[in-house]
Structure 1
Amino acid sequence: MFGKKIKSLSTAGIFLLLIALINLSCQRDDICPESTLITPLVKISFYDFDANSEGDTLAKPVANFSIRAVGDTLNFEIPTNPSEISIPLKTDVDLTSYEFILNANDDEEEEPTSAENSDIINFTYTRNQEYINSACSFKVTYINLEAKLVAETPSSNNWIKDIIVDQSTVEDETTTHISIFH
């Protein structure tokens, strides 16, 4: 009788130990918290070119603005007549090109109107990948950011008059990285 109790206790002990080991080997679901900083967007502000030539910096919204990634089908939700926007840069190459469109046609089915004016800006940078954790994976920050307007012939066709890189390192979305004067 005493042997049966020991045998049942050791079986129960082994069973509890097995359950404890299984429980310890399980991990919680990996969910990336919203508070975790991930790959930042580039913040662009639009300013009045004429006011800048007088030494002032005056925000100037872009009329009927639209933006398209060159060579990509990426679409953006842009506020109506924005004075600032935030856009992503590619994380797998060191060049991203966007077409910035002034007086864009709202209907994508229709042909562009004569009032529509588009300028292409090439963004070049160096990517710096940082491992966050298994849930959030990698975060990319950008250093040595440059923005160059693709020249048109004649140059008077460009609605963008000047581009200034305010922050060449993109680590967060709180400050303006690029100022565009039009």
Structure 2
Amino acid sequence: MKKIISLLLIFTFGLSSCEKDDICDANTPTTPRLVISFFENKAPAVPKNVINLKVVGEGSPNGTGIIFNKTATDSTQYITSANTISIPLRTDKDSTTYSFIYDAYNSNPAAVNTDVITFYYTRQNVYVSRACGFKTIFALQPSSTDPPTIPFLQTDPAGDGFWMQRLILQTYNIDSENEAHLKIYF
């Protein structure tokens, strides 16, 4: 009888050392990405798919870009033709710069168009749990305060004209991926 009670006590203490938060659940929200939706410029309520869009972060090795198609094994993994994308913001600095290359793999180089956007923000680390650690949330901020500006800067480094006609910020706070943060009309 003493052996059974001892075994039960050891078993009970062994189970009590495991806690629910020792494993980070895959459904736990982590650092959110910036969600961008694309729309028809002439009919603003109509979502529009981009054509072979490649998004490359500043300093990206070999210009590889963001992986949109995880099942592809060639350069098509960096291409999307969707009307909504999610891109990460840097957690180690207060700005992130991306090149948005429209029709990136077109055989006619004149059809390829690149716009560059730099996003400016502040960062806040938020504790999630012992297993998951911290996540970073972002608050988009103007790049300067004199005069006040919008929290992103769009440039056309190739001089090929802007393919993105209008950019409309939906929310300054990037704390989830439940809705679009930025709408782009083209």
Q: TM-score range by the shorter chain?
A: 0.7 to 0.9
Please give the root-mean-square deviation of Cα atoms over the aligned residues, in Å. 2.9
Percent of residue pairs identical: 32
Task: Tell me, yes or no, if structure 1 residue 170 matches structure 2 residue 174.
Answer: yes
| 8 Å CA contact 1:99, 1:121 repeated in 2 | yes
Is 2:131 the partner of 1:131? no
Contact 2:34/2:89 (8 A) holds in 1: yes
Q: Identify if the C-alpha distance between structure 1 residues 40 and 112 changes in structure 2 by more than 3 Å, giving closer, same or farther.
A: farther
Residue matched to 1:46: 38
1:30 is aligned to 22
CA distance in 2, matches of 1:23, 1:142: 41
Q: Is the 1:147–1:163 Cα contact (8 Å) retained in structure 2?
A: no
Query: What is the identity, as a one-letter code, of the residue corresponding to 1:117?
Result: N
Cα separation, 1, equivalents of 2:27 and 2:83 = 27
8 Å contact kept, 1:142–1:171: yes
State the partner residue of 2:54: 66
Structure 2 residue 121 is the aligned partner of structure 1 residue 116: no
Larger Rg: 1
Alpha-carbon distance in structure 1 between the residues aligned to 2:52 and 2:23: 38
Superposed displacement of residue 91, structure 1 = 1.0
Assess, with a 3 A threshold, how the Cα gap between structure 1 residues 153 and 33 changes in structure 2: closer, same or farther: closer
Conserved? CA contact 1:119–1:149, under 8 Å: yes
Asked if 2 retains the 8 angstrom alpha-carbon contact of 1:68 and 1:76, the reply is: no
What is aligned with 1:105? 105
**Alignment partner of 1:114: what SS?**
helix
Q: What is the TM-score with the length of structure 1 in the denominator?
A: 0.74
Q: Counterpart amino acid of 1:82?
A: A
8 Å CA contact 1:143–1:170 kept in 2: the answer is yes
- 1:152–1:158 contact (8 Å) kept in structure 2: no
DSSP 3-state at the match of 1:120: strand
Q: Show structure 1 runs of 5+ residues with no match.
A: 1-8
Letter in 2 for 1:148: L
1:4: which partner in 2? Answer: none
For residues 64 and 24 of structure 1, the distance between their equivalents in structure 2, rounded to whole angstroms, comes to 52
Distance 1:61 1:24 in 2: 52
* Structure 1 runs of 4+ with >3 Å offset: 22-29, 151-154
Quote the offset at 1:98 in angstroms.
0.8
Residue matched to 2:146: none
Q: Structure 2 regions of 5+ residues with no counterpart? A: 70-78, 142-150
Q: Structure 2 length as normaliser, TM-score?
A: 0.72
Quickly say closer, same or farther: Cα 1:153–1:104, change in 2 above 3 A.
Answer: closer
